[in-house]
Structure formats: C-alpha cells, structure tokens
Amino acid sequence: MKLFQHPFTSLSFITSQHHNPHRNNLHHPSIHHHPSTASTASTRHRHHHRHITIHQIHQINNKMASSDSNEELIAKERAKSTFRYTEDIAPGLKIDMALHSILHTSLSEFQEVQVIDSFFGRTLVTDGKTQSAEHDEFVYHETLVHPPLLWSAILSGRNGDDDDDKGAAPKTVFIGGGGELATAREVLKHNTVERLVMVDIDPEVIEVCKKYLPEWGGNAVANHPKMELIVGDAHKYLMETTETFDVIIMDISDPIEAGPGIALYTQEFYRRASRVLRPKSGVFVTQAGSADFVPPPHAFPTTADGCVVDDEENSKESNCFGPILNTLGTVFDHAVPYTVPMPSFGEDWGFVMAFDGSEEDRAELVGLSSGTVDKLVEERIERVEGVPEHGFRSLGVRRAVTGKERG
C-alpha cells in the first residue's frame, strides 16, 4: 500500500493498544481579576495543547468610585476595562483577543460546553478548547467535507457499472462526531446525497449549537429529511452497522486528547471503515490536528542547552497529523494529507483523505484543475434551505470573487 508523507510526519502509527492517560478533568468556568500582565489560569485548546486565561486587565479604584467629583475619570477607566481570551499555541507563542461576552456555560455528561463572543465572533468552546468560531468555521467545515465528496463523485464517474451509476455518488454519507451540525450542513449541500447518518455522543453540544449557533446548521440541518441524527457512540455504530457508505467523515477530537476516542484512530478502526465504504466510490476523511504550524524545535519547552524538557505534560504536545496519515497509509492504498490556515486556531489545520485505487487515481486527485472543481461545485452544491445566511462567509466569498477590498 502506498503512503504519501507530509514533510514533517512522524514515522509512528496508532494501534488499539495505545491509550491516553491525559484525559482532561472537567472544570467550572471562572473569571479572574488580574493586572494586565497576568496570565495564570490554564486549561486546554481544541485538538491541541493550549492554555486559556480570561481576565479583566484594568480595575477601578474603590476610592475613586466613592467620589462624585471623579465620575468622568471613572467613566474613562471603565471604557478601558475589558476581558481577554488568551490561548497558548506553543511555549512562548500565544494568541490573545478581546472577550466580549460569555453567552452560555453548561456541564454535560462528557464535557464543559461554552459559547462566547470574542474577536472571532461567536465561538463554541468545550473543556476550554476552541471548536469553531463564526469568523472561519466555514473554512474548516468546507475543507473537511467537499474534497472527499467531490472525489467520490469522480471515482464513481470512472468506475460506475452503467451510465445511470456513473457520477451518481456520493449518495450515502456517515459523520462521526460533528455536534456543531456544520459538517452535516456542508454534506447536505450536495444534491446527490440521499441519506446522511450522523452519530455524536453529546446531546448537550447539539442543543447548545442549535440555540446559539444557527448559522452552523441549527434545526434546519438537525431536522432535515435526509438526515438521521443519532446520539451515541460512532465507533460502536460503524463496528455494528450492515450499511455501506460512499463517504465516511470523522470530525472528532485528536487521539492525544480524546481519551476513549483513541479507538477512532487505530488501524483496526480504519480497516473496519474501509469495509463499510462502497468499493467503487468509497472515500474516508478525518480531521488530523495541528498541521506542523510550529516548527518542531519550537514545539516543546527546552532547557538552557537546547534539550527538550521530557515530562508527562509536554508529551501531550506531540502532533498527531503524521501518525494519523501514516496509520491510514497502512490500511488504504492512498492517504493524502492537506491543510488550511485557521485564524481562530492560530495555526494551520490538517486533514487526511484516504481511498483505494490505482496510482493514476491518486495522480488525478492531486492534479485536479480548478476548472474541473468549479464545474463539480456548480453542478452539485446547492444551498440548504432554512440555514441563516453566514455573514463572514459571504464577505469572504465576495472578496475572493471580486478581488475588492484586498490590501
């Protein structure tokens, strides 16, 4: 089986014998008042190790507040008062932004769930990890969904048994995870899709996103006639199903953070997924974590003589992009990595698409022309009725198409 490596991929791969001893303890949110230079409270970010601090950087002097003659000065100080949202990307590198409000906080059976309004707009945060932000969630979800679905269409066009079957895929799609509903939103844009099964373990995330993040998909996606939304274990579902799918999409946490979710990244699981895929149009895709945005020498704390600090906490920093790519490469004929910049994550994000086929198939995928892609998009992708207009995406598309407002 052929394996194609990203420049910084690890040579390791993942088996079911691996386990994750670093599963996060759930915590309740808190707001701390600190001087502007303070940054002490820590937790973890999305699918990568990060710290979050929310703090008020200016305090109003109590004596000042008690004096009527200082009302104007008090107003000026209050105008400068703000809350901050800070995330560590790597030792010595962090992203810091304004936090406008906390819209929702709850504790589900599995995780803490928050919706905040920050510099990047409304943002879903679970266990202190940014999952997606209004500013660029469509970038992540379109990148995850459209390449495998369009490639499935091309494969079926070449391999179909008769004229009616050629190019008819994808008809059936499975999503593991995807509680925001935005992955399902992108799948349902494809007019060939007849059935979509989505299995996510946490109903709290689904309900919170339906209420606070309707542009991600909301009730229009959750109640779509083509959609079967199941609250449950995606691993168990795929292991037991007798159904087959044209495309399987895994939108789940990284193996270094997901605890029991490590089972969704093993050779054994990937082998099962390959058997559930339809042979002539089957494509598998998974999000694959941070895409080596931080150069390896800077990804870990080091001692004065340049040696990496070797302790349990720092071991969590290991990128999983390479191991995921290599593991899929031991199961499928082809494992193809691709990446996209994600401003709200503060780094590039990785994805891996895998499928069986000839070397010519892979060469065609890598060399697809923009004209071919544009034609497929025009023929196949349509708006999902009932999903509110996404202001950030519309602005981005207008800029890309017209070229206006570019610096």
CB 198 within 8 A of CB 228: yes
CB 189 within 8 A of CB 383: yes
What burial letters (b/e) apply to 224-251, b meaning 16+ CB within 10 Å?
A: bebbebeeebbbebbeeeeeebbbbbbb
Catalytic hit among 246, 251, 292, 356:
251
88 is catalytic: no
Confidence at residue 166, expressed as pLDDT on a 0 to 100 scale: 55
Of 69 and 338, the structure prediction assigns the larger pLDDT to: 338
pLDDT, tens only, 214-272: 999 999 999 999 999 999 999 999 999 999 999 999 999 877 554 667 899 999 999 99
**Radius of gyration of the chain, Cα coordinates, nearest whole angstrom:** 23
For residue 285, CA distances in Å to 5, 109, 224, 349 come to 16, 28, 23, 14
Of 32 and 385, the structure prediction assigns the larger pLDDT to: 385
For residue 310, what pLDDT band results from cuts at 50, 70 and 90?
low
Stretch 108-124: mean pLDDT: 93
Highest mean pLDDT of the ranges 47-56, 64-73, 109-118: 109-118
Confidence at residue 237, expressed as pLDDT on a 0 to 100 scale: 97
Confidence at residue 401, expressed as pLDDT on a 0 to 100 scale: 46
pLDDT, tens only, 151-209: 999 998 876 555 555 568 899 999 999 999 999 999 999 999 999 999 999 999 999 99
Confidence at residue 95, expressed as pLDDT on a 0 to 100 scale: 85
Angle of the 137-159 helix axis to the 359-366 helix axis, nearest 10: 140
pLDDT of residue 27 exceeding 70, the answer is: no
pLDDT of residue 361 exceeding 50, the answer is: yes
Confidence at residue 93, expressed as pLDDT on a 0 to 100 scale: 78
Confidence at residue 400, expressed as pLDDT on a 0 to 100 scale: 47
* CA–CA dist 50, 94 (Å, integer): 9
User: Which amino acid is residue 107, in one-letter code?
Assistant: L
Is residue 170 reached through a cis peptide bond, with omega within 30 degrees of 0 on the bond before it? yes
